Structure 1
Amino acid sequence: MTQFSIITSIYKNDKPEFVRVALDSMLINQTVKPTEIVLVRDGQVTEELDRLLDEYEARYPKIFNIIRLKQNGGLGKALKLGVESAKYDIVARMDSDDICLPNRFELQLRYLEQHPDVDIIGGQMTEFIDTPDNIIGKRIVPCDNEDIYGFMKNRCALNHVTVMFRKESVLKVGNYQDWFWNEDYYLWVRMMKTKCQFANVPEVLVNVRSGADQYARRGGRKYYESEKGIKKLQLDNKMITKMEYRYFVAQRYIIQILLPNWLRGWVFRKLARKK
């Protein structure tokens, strides 16, 4: 199958035991293994994390391309550098504490080979707490390009940690850029502006590590302004109507500003996840 790169990043708060599980799910437990892993160390990390990186770099010298940044610049900048540094035309995205299912890359590569017009392919994801078998929810997204464009009017239609894309398509729209907690959504909207073709496979590709604090991170004015800015970009480019924009802003103001964390978590689990 086609050679491909994976881009991922770590920073000081990542737990070495989680990073090890994530790396093994990409490297060892796959039916089709990556040709390259571009790992951006986003600033100084713990000695234990550095030792882990040294270990994998020594074990897989032909696969690992570790970029060690002296200062933390944020996820958007790290991923931008990762894409630019990737050697291959096909690039997969992965987080440093999640778990790829064994046939993830095989499914996505086969789809891209069979659909040369598709620029980016994602898939479904599950979420777990503590142990991988303790599944607490599933985020289902549409598979067809037209349905994805429609879904994007209200919510992000690609599970970021599941995507695989053509490097040229991402570079053409300016690559990843810094946008608080929504670097992915911002990139997808810019790809939509150029009529890129999107797709998702119906299978679950990644099991995502979750926790109670994730809903706290999705609240607050800064997160609200981030999503509001993306919707304004969609409005300005006639991807959504003024009514859709106003509805979204009002909805997100209630969820992200007014609701306490515990209630926000309930809303996300009920409306955006399936058991």
Structure 2
Amino acid sequence: MHLRSRKFTILMSVYHQDNYKFLNAAFESIENNTLLPDEIVLVEDGPLSKDLTETINHWEKKLNFKIVKLKKNVGLGKALNAGLELCNNELVIRADADDINRTTRFERQVDFMFKNPEVGISSAWIQEFEEMPCDRGFVRKVPAKEGLNHFSKRYCPFNHPAVIFRKSLILRHGGYGNEFLYEDYALWMKLLHSNVIGDNLQEVLVDMRFTDQTYSRRGGFKYFLSEIKNQYLFFKRDYINFSDFFINVASRSFVRLIPNEIRKIIYKYILRKKHD
């Protein structure tokens, strides 16, 4: 089958705090890809600003949008579930409203999934940036399938902004949950512990925007409580043992509760590695 005849859907969610300029750049990166989706399911998670609405209206004329309007903000997990139900294709690619998809992302991932029908979910590496792609060089690497189970005991095994999955498989396992800030991680753990085969392309395919707001969102007491709650949930479900639970909570709690400026330094210079 010719690659261009292999259909796939892009699933996105946008909400009122998203930046319309970043959203515009995200749409541009989709348009510039070597393989284009035959549909984009865009979930408007509650009322949007005028600038966001105008940006969407502009791109709706260029890209094949299917817009899902939610009356109120329900959060990422529920918004993605609403959009997933309306995706017409089995292969679904996740894309965020403020990230940049590299030009070969869709071609590389769709080709990989067609050549590996046993794989249910896959992602790739992401490179963080602040103003322009590659201005930081920090790369979040996730392992290939052989190392996924071990890696998942400490870290999220897939990069959500770079994920591709099979729709029927996600729906069969209940879709995204309601776990605050853990919607994706909890779902990935459920899949891996249900013997779903996952894998990751060992290359950067998405440039992920990392701003001061990103650092702020990754801290605070609410995030701290969510961390404990969800790690305990993993322990109860036998995804991790007690030693894993203790180490994960202890190591994460410090980062969640420190001031934002200190957390920024730790993320930039300790928790991230330079891409060679």
Q: Same fold (TM over 0.5)?
A: yes
Match of 1:99 in 2: 100
User: Shift in Å at residue 271 of structure 1?
Assistant: 4.0
**Structure 1 range deviating more: 87-96 or 66-75:** 66-75
Contact 1:140 1:274 in 2 (8 A): no
CA deviations on 1:154-180 (whole Å, 9 max, x unpaired) are: 111211100000011111110012221
Q: Say whether residues 1:52 and 2:64 are aligned partners.
A: no
Residue equivalent to 1:147 = 147
Shift in Å, 1:234: 2.1
Displacement, 1:254? Answer: 1.9
Residue 164 (1) aligns with residue 164 (2): yes
Output the amino acid matched with 1:40.
Answer: V
C-alpha contact 1:139 1:272 (8 A) present in aligned 2 = no
Q: Counterpart of 1:109 in 2: which secondary structure?
A: helix
Work out the CA distance in 2 between the residues paired with 1:75 and 1:239.
23
Determine the structure 2 residue equivalent to 1:69. 70
Q: Which residue, 5, 11, 15 being the options, matches 1:11?
A: 15
User: Runs of 5+ in structure 2 lacking a partner?
Assistant: none
Structure 1 residue 268 displacement after superposition: 2.3
Aligned positions, number: 270
Post-superposition offset of 1:233: 2.3
Q: CA deviation at 1:136?
A: 4.3
- Quick check: 1:272 aligned with 2:271? yes
Structure 1 residues 247 and 128, CA gap change in structure 2 (3 angstroms)? same
> Paired residue for 1:89?
90
SS of the residue corresponding to residue 34 of structure 1 reads coil
RMSD, aligned α-carbons: 1.4
Task: Output the amino acid matched with 1:260.
Answer: P
Alignment partners' CA distance in 2, 1:179 and 1:236:
15
Structure 1 length-normalised TM: 0.93
Q: Which residue, out of 21, 24, 31, partners 1:20?
A: 24
Are the aligned partners of 1:125 and 1:204 in contact in 2 as well (CA < 8 Å)?
A: yes
Name 1:251's counterpart in structure 2.
251
State the alpha-carbon separation in 1 of the partners of residues 150 and 100 from structure 2: 29
Query: What is the CA distance between 1:222 and its match in structure 2?
Result: 1.4
Residue pair 1:121, 1:165 contacting (<8 A) in 2 also: yes
CA distance in 2, matches of 1:129, 1:252: 23
- Gaps of at least 5 residues in structure 1 are none
- Alpha-carbon contact 2:127-2:134 (below 8 Å) kept: no
Structure 2 match to 1:262: 261
SS in 2 for 1:225: helix
3-state SS, counterpart of residue 125 of structure 2: strand
3-state DSSP of counterpart to 2:85: helix
Residue 149 of structure 1, CA deviation: 1.1
Superposed CA deviations along residues 122-180 of structure 1, whole A, max 9, x for unmatched, are 0001111112242341111111x231111110111211100000011111110012221
User: Which whole-Å CA distance do the structure 1 matches of 2:225 and 2:192 have between them?
Assistant: 21
The percent of aligned pairs where both chains have the same amino acid is: 36
Q: Contact conserved, 1:123 with 1:203, CA < 8 A, in 2?
A: yes
